[in-house]
A and B are shown apart, each in its own frame.
Chain A
Amino acid sequence: MAKRNTNRLKKRGVRRREFGGRTWLRHHRYLLRESLGDIIRHPFASALTWLVIAVALALPALLYVTQKNLDQLAGQWQEGAQVSLFLEDRVSVSDGENLSRDLQRRPEVRDAWYLSREDALDEFAAWMDMAPVLSSLDNNPLPATIIVIPVSQTRTDIEILGELLGSLPEVADMQMDIEWVQRLERISEVLQRSLLALSGVLGLTVVLVIGNTMRMATEARRDEIQVIKLVGATQSFVRRPFLYMGVWYGLFGGLVACGLIWASLALLSGPVSALADSYGTALGLRPLTWTEGATLVGVAILLSVISTWLTVSRRLAQIEPNPL
């Protein structure tokens, strides 16, 4: 008996008509208009939500920009990462110059040049303004030097190269100027970690803010949800307008975040270039690229839609029609 009933149900079935292609497009055009109209009708409430999302996104994004600029700084100071080879006094000027030419040909060396003892003294005197002191010395205390600029700027590569060159018989002593590089690498690492942690926390914030907004939106439209469920709306039909709302929140929140970052960088760029000038480097702040901006907006939309989906689906299961 039971089996026969099921079979009959199957045969007749419930008329299950999902939207076809055209109808689907028309429905989405309608939703697009409706959801935008909703924003225009409640500009303040919408703008407030965008702002919260924007701030939550802008903080990690700003940290990212800082880290990016610091990396760039490390790159610019690469010229400063160098290996100085102090030669034995017995090495003649021509031998020293030959050695520097040999070193130039090594693949891991970008450049190498020879400074004779006199050159070194002149440079030292000029640099430190110490000519009077030096001239009072009987003989030149400075050794001849070969300055080597490595191709690779990571600490380990420089160390390996330094040790290799330091073992040359002509070299009395070797010194690596890599502290700056090291420090910048450390700072960048710290920033990267904080970026990760902060992004996680603030991403969660975005999800919760959107979730709460959507929860209130479903509550505000409780009657409407009940009525359209009664007249035969599917779960996805009821959910769709909220998803559109989520897309707009993400899109505008992301755009406002980009604006906040742009404004902060504009505010910083003057003092930063003044600071850079004082160190004798020309350094401009690098803003967000288009790709990075688009990624930020994309992430905002994605977070918003995921949050909307989860919240609204859960809420819709709870809001059942009860009109009688």
Chain B
Amino acid sequence: MSWLTQTLTSSIGKKVLMSLTGLFLCLFLVVHLIGNLQLFKDDGGYAFNTYAVTMTTFTPVKIISYLNYFFILFHAFWGIYLEVRNRKARNVKYNLIRNQSTWSSRNMALLGTILLVYIVVHMGDFWYKFHNEPLPYVQYTEMLSTGEVFSQVMPAGYTQDVKQVEFVNSDEGTRTVIVKDLYQTVSVAFQNFLLSFFYLLGMVAVGFHLYHGFQSAFQTLGINHPKYSPFIKAVGIWVFAFIIPAAFAAMPLYFYFKQF
């Protein structure tokens, strides 16, 4: 075994792989949230739909997204493997346990499994449909002078070869964009109570997972310092366990209550 595989397969190395992939996924969550906040823009989905095209066509973003899918799968299955291994380290269970640790920290594998199921459903709902299903198209006309945007749903059966058709009419001073209406797909999907509720549960799981996970990742990398650790813990709890899941959870809630 080379020194590198020896390092990465040691108990500490295995954890470092969990830590690094986990931190990457935390970073992804921030970017994903910033992009998705465009769902709250009252522009008929113009910003969100064109953003969706950029994210699925711009090559560097595509490379990072496939890396991201790989890290999600790696983090999930490596985590399950570690959990199985760790359980073997106690072959006879205790009769009575009063553990002095947080519930999150003891249930990372359970929370992670919930999140894996959530991610599969989530990607099936939107990612798969966006890539593989004939979603309706929408045409946006932007007045270049005022910045006003008018949207118009394309007739049923309309399709185009590229993800985004764009042309500028300099006589009329307008820019026209035709894209798949993912915004509409999202808003219709979240009108379903069960799906919205499932998404809320998913976000609760993210919150609890990161309540322990974020700060734990730094500890695994050996970062524990009286100056920085309180800051890392605060960011883990407030930003990653509370604000980010709450902001994501606001999306299904927004569309669910908008229908009434």
Chain B associates with chain A: no
Residues on A lying within 8 angstroms of B by beta carbon are none
Residues on B lying within 8 angstroms of A by beta carbon are none
